[in-house]
């Protein structure tokens, strides 16, 4: 699986930890920044990851900032993105099963590295169920248009 990852300075450490962990599991992770832990603006990295997902350069996106909220809000401005900020494994799984989320957002100041791995695992291991959820996804995506 090809995953585009991005963070701002507040999510840098967790992003690096998750990239190492995901690579160890055999996933291909493309780090779209920030490359250093110096102060930066999260929308820049949210857009880069979102465009990689929309353009098909990545199967999924992973965005990390202090809370995950700013990344989620920024990513969801890009047409075709369904980004979800979560802080537990149940919600991560549900957002794939029911909402077909294509970007996962996590807050480094909210969850630790161990829980972040559980969240990412739950998200990656779940497949969109379609069916009764598709009408809702269609309505959500129609809002963009």
* Catalytic residue ranges: 65, 98
What are 4's two structure tokens? 């585009």
Structure tokens at 64: 């990390």
């Amino acid at each position: 699986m090809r995953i585009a990852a991005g963070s701002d300075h507040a999510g840098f450490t967790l992003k690096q930890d998750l990239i190492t962990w995901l690579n160890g599991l055999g996933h291909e992770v493309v780090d779209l920044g920030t490359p250093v832990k110096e102060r930066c603006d999260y929308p820049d990295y949210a857009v880069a990851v979102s465009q990689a997902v929309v353009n098909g350069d990545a199967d999924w996106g992973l965005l990390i900032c202090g809370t995950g909220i700013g990344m989620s809000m920024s990513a969801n401005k890009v047409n075709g993105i369904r980004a979800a900020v979560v802080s537990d494994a149940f919600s991560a799984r549900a957002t794939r099963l029911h909402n077909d989320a294509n970007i996962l957002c996590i807050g480094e100041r909210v969850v630790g590295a161990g829980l972040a791995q559980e969240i990412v695992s739950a998200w990656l291991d779940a497949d969109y169920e379609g069916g009764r959820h598709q009408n809702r996804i269609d309505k959500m995506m129609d809002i963009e248009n």
